[in-house]
Amino acid sequence: MRALRGEGFDVCAVAEGDAGIPDRAVIASAAREPRILITEDKEFDWLVYSSGAASAGVMLIRFATSARAQLVAAVLLLVHEHPDRLVGAFAVVQPGQIRIERLPALE
């Protein structure tokens, strides 16, 4: 998160203000603002992608502890190289791999 802020991105962290709020409330808040939700919680796949909940977009981070050193670079690469593809999409970021799919509710 510090890296994104350092690059000039407007970042709002749930842990900094509303820690413990339900996942559906996080999604609703991100959709209202509108913000792309960055999470490591796989449940957001179902909550946003499968259920069709309104969302500005979701980025699911899938990095094992052994690959955490690559995480910041991978996220920064994604937001700099594909900013237009992230809005209204579900992106999965893994070491050496990025998958971006349009959210069905926004097609």
Domain boundaries, the chain: 2-106
User: Residue 65 half-sphere exposure, CB side, CA atoms within 13 Å?
Assistant: 0
Q: What is this structure's pTM?
A: 0.85
pLDDT higher than 70, residue 24: yes
Per-residue pLDDT, 49: 64
Per-residue pLDDT, 45: 80
**Of all helices (H) and strands (E), which one includes residue 91?**
strand 89-94
Over the stretch 45-104, which tens digit does the pLDDT of each residue have? Answer: 878 766 677 788 889 999 999 999 999 999 999 999 999 999 989 899 999 999 999 887
